[in-house]
Amino acid sequence: MKKIWFKGVSILIASTLVLGMLAGCTTKENAENGGKEGTSTDKTVKLKVLHNWNGSSGTDVDMTPIAEVIKEKTGVTVEWEYTTGSEVEKVNAIFATQDLPDIYTGPAWGGELDGMIKAAKEDQLVDISDKLDKYPNLAKSIAKENVPPALYEKAIDAYGGKKYLLLQNQPATDKDGTDWLYGFYVRKDIAEQIGVDPQSIVTKEDFYNFLKKIKDANLQANGQPVIPFGGFSNGWAVGIGNTMFYGGAGYMDKGDGTLENSFFTKEYDDYTLYYRKLIAEGLLDNESFTQTDPIAKEKVSQGRVAVLAAHFPAIYDASKEYVKSHPGSDYIPIGPLERGGVDPSRPVDLGIQGNNVTAITKACKDVDAALRLLDFLASDEGFLLVRYGVQGTHWDMVDGKPTPKQEWFDKFAADTSSTLTVRKSVGINIGFESMTGRDRLNSVGAGDFWLDKERVQAMESARKILRPNGVNIVTGYNPGDVIMKSEQWEMLKPSMDKMGDVWKEAIFAKSDDAALKLMNDFRNQMKKTGYDEAMKYTNDQLKGKDVVTIQMPN
């Protein structure tokens, strides 16, 4: 990473004592990264950063060792705000109320990204196009060759030459791509108790019968019935069963080379009725779509959920305290389950397109300080600092590779709390990680070497089961990005945004007929707001291009 040096003022000591530790700060980039001397500042700037990830959290320590180094290198301290509800609602709220942070960082997809694009087009964000030559790490993170083409057109190069958004955590190389191992996981002890091998569950019928067998076993935990199938907050991520019915990318090939939004297909109807059946028969936790994250995790920590849908790290962290007191109750993968219309020998298609977009809002009190901070974090030096801690204190460079100090490895390993209290007290696993430019954990770093060996082993075991044929990184065009450019989009978007809500309403319907009527009525409403015309535009624009129609959650 590029180095940004902070030099203490060595003159006017008497005045410094009177005025209160006047600090000087200059920025300097590593020669190998083509950096230049930056401007100097005589003060420390405090910037507020909104980390818009539901359930994310920081540390109780005012200044961690990592934050101290960042302050030394950049002259910036950060005041964090973490989101505990809907990320989309948070994006909309901050711009509606103008309660803006200095820097925003949040999910690089879906409604969250749409909200940030809208803010950019309304000049709610700072245009950094004329400043990128001074901040080479930021320029590199959004260079055309480093951003998936559809995302580049949609979010980065979409403002007539202006640049508002930075893409963070996009893999710098193929080996840097992180597969979070989304899937269905079952408690090992429960699978053994009911006598079913989780790897024998392949079809949607197998999965249904498995959940029914769990329910019929009348298992109890903490004085309450065991829930056959559950998730985390606000329905995350119980809906990933959609991939058993269709490709999972949101749009399907109709068979004639043209595309249709999956919401309009029979496969979507089948998916909806399947989940309605799970709800109606008490197989899926009916609180899944309304519960908070603490409540969801409490159910897991009490041993009350048999099957969870999410990515591996979330399940591992939420369950480890229960597993510690109940050996053999760890969650293991189910399947791999069938993927609708996909050859089972095909590698798993993953859309790894960065975790975050970051932007400086128009309310930022010091844009240069914000850029200085972000450019340092995106340098190799900043990347290693944030991911591993302070070099020489927490880790050393050995034979050209970062290597953890045993003392700190042991301290982190001894911390079994679900919030990783000790690691966060150093400054690791908090919001800074979302703003470190391109992901170079394997190409520049040495992997996530702070992970305990049991966790690494468990994750590799899950990978062997869920990814028997490897993975394929999706780089094609997403129709959802293209339809936004249609003339009908402004009228159509409110309906598109409600499709998920309609689906949730449908799965709680009193009957299959009622569920289908609800969705068909809504489809007709969408057509009245220009859906057919917008899809014709989308198909015309994507003719002859590589289009994403198969994608597993990641």
The token pair that represents 240 in the structure block: 């990933």
Question: Which letter, b or e, does each residue of 282-291 get, where b requires 16 or more Cβ atoms within 10 Å of its Cβ?
Answer: ebbbbebbeb
Q: At what angle do helices 380-388 and 367-377 cross, to 10 degrees?
A: 70
Predicted confidence (pLDDT) at residue 6 exceeds the cutoff of 70: no
- pLDDT (average), residues 320-341: 95
Confidence tier at 24 by pLDDT (50, 70, 90) = very low
Predicted confidence (pLDDT) at residue 132 exceeds the cutoff of 50: yes
CB distance 467 to 527 below 8 Å: no
Burial of 413 from C-beta contacts in 10 A (0-12 / 13-18 / 19+): middle
What's the pLDDT score for residue 38?
37
What's the pLDDT score for residue 36?
35
Cα–Cα distances in angstroms (integers) from residue 548 to residues 158, 249, 375, 482, in the given order: 21, 7, 32, 12
Residue linked to tokens 């006017």 = 12
What is d(CA 70, CA 48) in angstroms, rounded to the nearest whole number? 15
Instruction: Return the C-alpha torsion angle 156, 141, 151, 365, nearest 10.
Output: -40
- pLDDT (average), residues 494-503: 96
CB distance 211 to 278 below 8 Å: yes
Q: CA nearest 50: which of 451, 453, 361, 447? A: 361
Residue linked to tokens 């989101």 = 83
CB distance 104 to 168 below 8 Å: no
What is d(CA 85, CA 233) in angstroms, rounded to the nearest whole number? 9
User: What is the pairing mode between strands 224-225 and 220-221?
Assistant: antiparallel
Confidence tier at 23 by pLDDT (50, 70, 90) = very low
Burial of 212 from C-beta contacts in 10 A (0-12 / 13-18 / 19+): middle
Report which of residues 62 and 288 the model is more confident about: 288
Q: CA nearest 102: which of 79, 131, 71, 72? A: 79
CATH topology of domain 45-168+355-438: D-Maltodextrin-Binding Protein; domain 2 (3.40.190)
CB distance 128 to 163 below 8 Å: yes
Note the pLDDT tens digit of each residue in 533-550: 999 999 999 999 889 999
Q: At what angle do helices 453-466 and 312-325 cross, to 10 degrees?
A: 130
* DSSP E strand boundaries for 482-527: none
Burial of 460 from C-beta contacts in 10 A (0-12 / 13-18 / 19+): exposed
The token pair that represents 429 in the structure block: 């696993």
What is the average pLDDT score of the chain?
Answer: 90
Note the pLDDT tens digit of each residue in 375-430: 999 999 999 999 999 999 999 999 999 999 999 999 998 987 778 899 999 999 99
Q: Taking the domains of the chain in order of start, what are their residue ranges?
A: 45-168+355-438
What's the pLDDT score for residue 372?
98
- Other beta carbons within 10 angstroms of residue 523's beta carbon come to 18
Strand-by-strand arrangement of the 331-333 sheet: 227-230, 305-310, 183-187, 331-333
Going by the DSSP 8-state scheme, the letter that residue 127 receives in this structure is -
Predicted confidence (pLDDT) at residue 239 exceeds the cutoff of 80: yes
- pLDDT (average), residues 165-181: 89
Note the pLDDT tens digit of each residue in 52-98: 999 899 998 889 999 999 999 999 999 999 998 899 999 999 999 99
Q: CA nearest 429: which of 179, 171, 58? A: 58
Note the pLDDT tens digit of each residue in 421-471: 999 999 999 999 999 999 999 999 999 999 888 888 999 999 999 999 998
Residue linked to tokens 């200044």 = 63
What's the pLDDT score for residue 361?
98
What is d(CA 492, CA 488) in angstroms, rounded to the nearest whole number? 6
Tell whether omega for the bond before 237 is within 30 degrees of 0, i.e. cis.
yes
Note the pLDDT tens digit of each residue in 104-129: 999 998 889 999 999 999 999 999 99
What is d(CA 474, CA 552) in angstroms, rounded to the nearest whole number? 10
What is d(CA 471, CA 552) in angstroms, rounded to the nearest whole number? 10
Note the pLDDT tens digit of each residue in 253-279: 999 999 999 999 999 999 999 999 999
What's the pLDDT score for residue 456?
86
- Which amino acid, one-letter code, is at 442? N
Predicted confidence (pLDDT) at residue 515 exceeds the cutoff of 50: yes
What is d(CA 490, CA 362) in angstroms, rounded to the nearest whole number? 24
Question: Which letter, b or e, does each residue of 170-202 get, where b requires 16 or more Cβ atoms within 10 Å of its Cβ?
Answer: bbbeeebbbbbbbbbbbbbbbbeeeebebeebe
